[in-house]
Amino acid sequence: MPHLEIHNLTVSYDKDQPALAQFRLDVEPGELVSLLGPSGCGKTTTLRSVAGFIQPDAGRIVINGRDYTHLPPNQRDIGLVFQSYALFPHLTVFQNVAFGLRMRRVPKAEVNTRVANALKMVGLEAFANRRPAQLSGGQQQRVALARATVIEPQVLLLDEPLSNLDARLRVDMRQEIRRAQQQLGITTLYVTHDQVEAMSISDRVVVMNQGKIEQIGSPERIFAAPETVFVADFMGFDNRFNAAVESVQADKLTVNWGGAPTELRWHSRFGSPCPGAKAEVFFRADNASLSSSSDASGLAGQVILHTFHGNEVQYLVETQVGEFSIMQDSAGERFENGAAVTVQAQTQKWIAIVE
Amino acid sequence: MISRWMYISLVILYGFLLGPFVIIFMASFGANANLAFPPQGFTLDWFANVFETSQFVDSFWISLQLALLSTIVSLVMGIPVAYALTRFQFAASGLVETVFSAPILVPGLVIGFAMLNFFVLLGDMGVMTGLFIGHTAILFPYSVRVVSASLRNLDPYVEDAAVSLGANRLRGFLLVVLPNMQAGIAAAFVLGFITSFNNVPVSLFLSGPGVTTLPVSMLSYLEYYFDPTIAALSTLLVIFTVVLVQTAERVLGLSQFV
């Protein structure tokens, strides 16, 4: 049985454009599911509805078999971690973490041991008597994590918890959050707009757009096989072009790629497409390679710009199909601006989406 | 060269700021019956005279009660307003803010005159009640503004955090928001107290027979006498104010806010 069930949740701030429309999601016990999408996609609305700060217009929220939809937020037993940390500035680290236990009238001795354990988990035992203002951003977010988990909540909700941290700290904190979540086995919803963060921390990812779910799947699946144009675009497929479908088999379809018929994986929301339908073809910068023009097979093009990235060089190549961004190993053959090249497609990683 | 000019301007600035106080301070010890500078002789008679003049002693107590009462009431009303203005966006919030700052923008004499007329129309409400309402009204915008400033520095999500941890809205406010408003409330208290205690224009209109605030009785005393009693009283008031602010700073932690 799922630990957290969200049934057909609908939230409208104004009538025309619902912030969240018929949102459905089941989260298994101990699972970490990310809600991924651009700002305004409804991910924070979902989170705040589960926390009880937003009363949905329709739908139900069920946790551990119990209907939470109309329960006030302070009776929900939910741990919340905010982007701004939201620590209590007038209390020490210890008092911050102890707050939820005090609200639950936990005996003092037990409070002491549980807070000490929580602080140990996040490596801040030595900071128990500091004020939040005396801690770094990363330390403050660790306190927030300890404060939200020490109450052993039914569900842990994290709202863009790493957005205020710098890039390196973000990676450390991400691992730390994941480790704590797995260690405690807490069912978790994680809101983020960063696709790398979502992929690296999640058991499953929910990609959202305009209040609706675009795709739910494992990070691997979302990364390799986007099902909609929005997901492909959001998951960082660098190149896209339009092509007409020539023929369709069960799991492959054929499009014309610079004069050559090319077989591609495909996905369509509305079943098998007809020949002649318009497909959007997506591929990443490392799903194609360049060779000097003497090589016959492939699409002819010309290098417009090259950018050195260390291990790789990124080429912007102009072809009759369009402009493509292509990554090459910097140790291999190098091309100058203006060089004539042949683009060789690794089409097994490409995907055609028909909408 | 710049530092020398800065030094000189600083001396001039402080001269104009502190000079009058120095003169008043010295004059309050002068033996001459007319306020004079430089003072001749030395006496504490004028200080004694302050405490022997019942007009001053009575109006001091009135001013003290008035300042305490109107400051506290303006805070009790101002804290919820400040909270609402900083935490909720509502259609008329801009208008509400403008209306609440009106008593700062309108000249004090106009407020005093308008209130006198208004209270006369309302009928006999007693001088003290009139003064109390008038002072509360002029302090109210200060309370709202200063308390709002301290609330704006507080992350609005701390309340949600408290609620998610099991506190209801009221407890969340009392345990998390209120303690973080402490410095702002203290600042508003000191500012309000001093504003009320020193107010002349509104008190001038609203004072009545037997009920006069200290600044107003000082003014009327000056109309008849020009002896150093006023200088002595002024010296006492400066000391009183400095002690009050210092105490508030120590007790309430004002310095962390200002």
Q: Which residues does B252 contact at the CB level (< 8 Å), separation at least 6?
A: B182, B183, B185, B186, B189
Q: Is residue A231 part of a domain?
A: no
| Cβ contact, residue pair B157, A82, below 8 Å | yes
Among chain B residues, the shortest Cα distance to A79 is held by B164
Is the CB of B160 inside 8 Å of chain A's CB atoms?
A: yes
Could you give the percent of chain A with pLDDT greater than 70? Answer: 99
In 3-state terms chain A splits into helix, strand, coil percentages (rounded to 5) of 25, 35, 35
Domain boundary among A160, A194, A226: A226
d(CA B162, nearest CA chain A) in Å:
8
Q: Are A308 and A351 in contact (CB under 8 A)?
A: no
C-beta atoms surrounding B61 within 10 Å: 11
CA distance B106 to B97: 15
Number of separate domains in chain A: 2
Please indicate, yes or no, whether residues B15 and B95 belong to a single structural domain of this protein: no
Measured between beta carbons, the chain A residues lying within 8 angstroms of B164 are: 51, 73-74, 76, 78-80, 148
Among chain A residues, the shortest Cα distance to B154 is held by A89
Mean pLDDT calculated for residue range B103-113: 86
Could you give the percent of chain A with pLDDT greater than 90? Answer: 74
Mean pLDDT calculated for residue range A146-167: 93
C-beta atoms surrounding A232 within 10 Å: 24
Q: Where residue B3 falls among pLDDT bands split at 50, 70, 90?
A: confident
Q: Where residue A133 falls among pLDDT bands split at 50, 70, 90?
A: very high
A341: containing domain: 237-354
Average model confidence (pLDDT) for chain B? 87
pLDDT at B257: 44
Domain boundary among A226, A250, A277: A226
pTM: 0.82
What spatial distance separates the first Cα and last Cα of chain A, rounded to whole Å? 34
Report residue B141: phi and psi, to 5°: -60, -35
d(CA A100, nearest CA chain B) in Å:
5
CATH of the domain at A41: 3.40.50.300
Measured between beta carbons, the chain B residues lying within 8 angstroms of A76 are: 164
CATH of the domain at A260: 2.40.50.140
Q: Is residue A232 part of a domain?
A: no
The token duo for A191 is: 């809101």
Summarize pLDDT for A22-81 with one digit per residue, the tens.
999 999 999 999 999 999 899 999 999 999 999 999 999 999 999 999 999 999 999 999
Is the CB of B155 inside 8 Å of chain A's CB atoms?
A: yes
Q: Where residue B150 falls among pLDDT bands split at 50, 70, 90?
A: confident
Please indicate, yes or no, whether residues B35 and B70 belong to a single structural domain of this protein: no
Please indicate, yes or no, whether residues B22 and B133 belong to a single structural domain of this protein: no
Please indicate, yes or no, whether residues B246 and B124 belong to a single structural domain of this protein: yes
Please indicate, yes or no, whether residues B58 and B38 belong to a single structural domain of this protein: no
| Cβ contact, residue pair A87, B179, below 8 Å | no
Please indicate, yes or no, whether residues A76 and A201 belong to a single structural domain of this protein: yes
| Cβ contact, residue pair A86, B167, below 8 Å | no
Please indicate, yes or no, whether residues A63 and A110 belong to a single structural domain of this protein: yes
Task: Specify whether the backbone of A123 is left (phi greater than 0), alpha (psi in -120 to 50) or beta.
Answer: left
Residue B254 has pLDDT above 60, yes or no: no
Mean pLDDT calculated for residue range B156-165: 94
CA distance A44 to A37: 10
Q: Are B23 and B235 in contact (CB under 8 A)?
A: no
Q: Are A313 and A341 in contact (CB under 8 A)?
A: no
Write the residue in B160, B166, B180 that is nearest to A90 by C-beta: B180
pLDDT at B102: 77
Please indicate, yes or no, whether residues B114 and B193 belong to a single structural domain of this protein: yes
Is the CB of B178 inside 8 Å of chain A's CB atoms?
A: no
Among chain B residues, the shortest Cα distance to A145 is held by B161
Displacement of CA B235 from its chain's centroid (Å): 18
Q: Among residues 43-82 of chain B, which lie with CB inside 8 Å of chain A?
A: none
Q: Are B74 and B140 in contact (CB under 8 A)?
A: yes
Please indicate, yes or no, whether residues A215 and A247 belong to a single structural domain of this protein: no
pLDDT at A296: 60
d(CA A329, nearest CA chain B) in Å:
47
Number of separate domains in chain B: 2
CA distance B169 to B184: 21
pLDDT at A293: 67
Domain boundary among A165, A191, A226: A226
Mean pLDDT calculated for residue range B76-102: 83
d(CA A54, nearest CA chain B) in Å:
12
Measured between beta carbons, the chain B residues lying within 8 angstroms of A85 are: 155
d(CA A253, nearest CA chain B) in Å:
51
Mean pLDDT calculated for residue range A164-190: 92
Q: Is residue B139 part of a domain?
A: yes
Please indicate, yes or no, whether residues A195 and A330 belong to a single structural domain of this protein: no
Least confident of A129-143, A283-297, B14-28, B152-166: A283-297
| Cβ contact, residue pair B162, A88, below 8 Å | yes
C-beta atoms surrounding A176 within 10 Å: 17
| Residue A302: strand pairing partners | A318, A340
| Cβ contact, residue pair B161, A80, below 8 Å | yes
In 3-state terms chain B splits into helix, strand, coil percentages (rounded to 5) of 80, 0, 20
Please indicate, yes or no, whether residues A182 and A282 belong to a single structural domain of this protein: no
d(CA A41, nearest CA chain B) in Å:
21
CATH of the domain at B118: 1.10.3720.10
d(CA A104, nearest CA chain B) in Å:
7
Residue A335 has pLDDT above 60, yes or no: yes
Please indicate, yes or no, whether residues A142 and A281 belong to a single structural domain of this protein: no
Which of A69, A55, A54 minimizes the C-alpha distance to A5? A69
pLDDT at B258: 39
Using a CB–CB cut-off of 8 Å, the residues of A that contact B are 51, 53, 72-80, 82, 84-90, 99-100, 103-104, 144, 147-148, 151
Q: What is the CA radius of gyration of chain B?
A: 22
Among chain A residues, the shortest Cα distance to B181 is held by A90
Measured between beta carbons, the chain B residues lying within 8 angstroms of A74 are: 163-169, 172
Q: Which residues does B8 contact at the CB level (< 8 Å), separation at least 6?
A: none
The one-letter amino acid code at A270 reads F
Is the CB of B158 inside 8 Å of chain A's CB atoms?
A: yes
Higher per-residue confidence, A296 vs B109 = B109
DSSP B208: B
| Cβ contact, residue pair B162, A104, below 8 Å | no
Q: Where residue B253 falls among pLDDT bands split at 50, 70, 90?
A: low
d(CA B165, nearest CA chain A) in Å:
5
C-beta atoms surrounding A302 within 10 Å: 15
Please indicate, yes or no, whether residues A179 and A117 belong to a single structural domain of this protein: yes
A-B contacts at Cβ under 8 angstroms? 66
Q: Where residue B1 falls among pLDDT bands split at 50, 70, 90?
A: low
Q: Are B115 and B130 in contact (CB under 8 A)?
A: yes
Please indicate, yes or no, whether residues A220 and A242 belong to a single structural domain of this protein: no
Preceding omega of B38 cis (within 30 degrees of 0): yes
| Cβ contact, residue pair A82, B176, below 8 Å | no
